């Protein structure tokens, strides 16, 4: 069995178990594209359960990208007080809003190179946004995707960017946008680096 076949055999079982799970991730179900980007940026190194209500409060206080661009740092920091890396993120969301308005006319670009120019946006955030906003065949590689891909032997990489490059070679384009959600939910449920536990979890034979 080659790596593509191995991925598909694993992924289809994981998707069957986790795709219908009623659990919202930070990048999902926002009314506006810019909210998707800001919430995804906020979610780095933070639990989705923590990020989503904080993002909802932020967007309630600043309902437009222009309003967020005019926000005062101390006011955003107060909203972010229980968010990991709150000082950096408070600075980044304001700077990101200003940057998007100035350079992209308030629209969220699809091109990854344009997205990573936005303050606070790395490749993971860029690819999740590409997937959520533009329905692109992009793989958002966070800690869960990176860990699981290595544990299962799909890749042998040291960084998320390396994992992204290798997964693109393996995963058919029609499945790429689904990988982040499925692997994140799977990774939240199965911790550690025990391959047997991951495969038992989805009844892989």
Beta strands in the chain (DSSP E): none
SS3 at position 131: helix
Q: What are phi and psi of 109, to 5 degrees?
A: -70, 160
pLDDT per residue over 135-169, tens digit each?
A: 999 999 999 999 999 999 999 999 999 999 999 99
Question: What topology is assigned to 3-22+139-201 in CATH?
Answer: Endonuclease Iii, domain 2 (1.10.1670)
The per-residue pLDDT for 20 is 85
The per-residue pLDDT for 205 is 82
How far is CA 182 from each of CA 15, 50, 59, 191, 202, rounded to the nearest angstrom?
6, 19, 27, 14, 12
Domain 33-134 belongs in CATH node 3.40.50.620: no
Q: What percent of the chain has pLDDT over 90?
A: 97
Q: 78: which DSSP letter? A: H
The per-residue pLDDT for 157 is 98
Q: What percent of the chain has pLDDT over 70?
A: 100
pLDDT per residue over 20-29, tens digit each?
A: 889 999 999 9
Domain boundaries, the chain: 3-22+139-201, 33-134
Rounded to whole angstroms, how far apart are CA atoms 117 and 124?
A: 13
DSSP 32-54: SHHHHHHHHHHTTTS-HHHHHHH
Q: 150: which DSSP letter? A: H
Question: Span 43-48, mean pLDDT?
Answer: 93
């Amino acid at each position: 069995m080659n790596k593509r076949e191995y991925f598909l055999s694993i992924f289809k079982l994981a998707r069957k178990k986790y795709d219908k799970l009623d659990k919202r991730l930070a990048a999902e179900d926002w009314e506006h594209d810019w909210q998707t980007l800001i919430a995804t940026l906020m979610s780095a190194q933070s639990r989705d359960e923590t990020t989503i209500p904080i993002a909802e409060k932020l967007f309630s206080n600043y309902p437009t990208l222009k309003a967020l661009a005019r926000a005062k740092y101390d006011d955003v920091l107060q909203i972010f007080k229980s968010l990991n890396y709150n000082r950096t993120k408070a600075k980044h969301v304001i700077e990101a809003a200003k940057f998007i308005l100035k350079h992209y006319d308030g629209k969220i670009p699809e091109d990854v190179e344009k997205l990573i120019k936005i303050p606070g946006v790395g490749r993971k955030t860029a690819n999740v946004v590409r997937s959520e906003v533009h329905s692109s065949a992009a793989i958002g590689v966070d800690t869960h995707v990176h860990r699981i891909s290595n544990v299962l032997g799909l890749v042998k990489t040291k960084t998320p960017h390396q994992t992204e490059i290798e997964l693109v070679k393996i995963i058919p384009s029609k499945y790429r946008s689904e990988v982040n959600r499925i692997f994140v939910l799977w990774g939240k449920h199965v911790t550690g680096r025990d391959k047997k536990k991951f495969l038992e979890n989805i009844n892989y034979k």
